[in-house]
Amino acid sequence: MLYICIPSYNEGPTIGVLLWRIRKVFQAYSREYEIVVYDDGSTDETRERLKPYAEIAPLTVLHGETRQGYAHALDRLCRDVSRRTRYPRRDAMIVMQGDFTDQPEHLPELVKRFEGGADIVLTEREQTKAPAAVRRLRTLAPWVLRFLIDIDGVRDPFNGYRLYRISLLRDLIKSFGEKPLVTGEGWAANVELLMNTAPLARRIERVTLAPRYDVRVRESRIRPIADGLALYRFGWGARGRKIVATTPGTPGTPAPPVPPETTGTKAEAGRSRRASS
């Protein structure tokens, strides 16, 4: 089973069309799948747009009454699919955005690598024309973490379009218990989830894909200064840790993931008020 997980906040203009495109992909590329959307307290027509698709697609919608942010949405989605799966070694969670940045037509490429044995499949963004705010943060982000976290073999640890084998998420949840799996804001949440799952993976693969910013109907929610500071706070709390993308068949070597109180303050936990793109 493939769980296509979409954290969503006020994506009413695009979420319905995105589900239709996902359904079309799996009509041509036959795999068992389920779409899981976490609606993070949307105030637009997102809920209304989702309702009709529950009748024509394998769709589950998780609702948050108030907005709690991207990290909270990731945590809820990871825990939900971990509970749902009957075969965690055979099933995967794919995280993608609900605003057309991540293209559903790229899903088969991620799935093929998973079926070939990868535990984590990372997408690394091609240098396409992006909104100015995204370009600025993309330039700033590596420097913010450069002397805080050792990142080896991952060119783009900030992108959120990824596949995780669910057995890794189950092991992570056992380690963290009721504590949030991720607490960083925005792109920091993507880095943190990778940091926590990479030590559990025997095989990590990377694929370069082109995001689409020209088909989105809203402006980017990226705020380079604020999001750069959020990355710095996360990096300072996690300083000294590693992210290593291991070669195929080679066990990971970093230290096992640690609960969030050792990587940041309690005040930082749960503080995630921006979407990742």
Per-residue pLDDT, 97: 92
Per-residue pLDDT, 116: 95
List average pLDDT for each run of 10 residues in the chain, which is 277 residues long: 96 92 93 96 92 89 93 97 96 94 94 96 84 87 91 90 97 96 93 96 92 76 90 93 67 42 39 42
Per-residue pLDDT, 153: 86
Per-residue pLDDT, 202: 93
> Could you identify the residue written with the tokens 């783009």?
156
Cα separation, 40 vs 10, in Å, equals 8
Per-residue pLDDT, 213: 76
Per-residue pLDDT, 260: 44
Per-residue pLDDT, 275: 41
Q: 0.75 cut: is pTM over it?
A: yes
Question: What CATH number was assigned to the domain covering residues 2-262?
Answer: 3.90.550.10
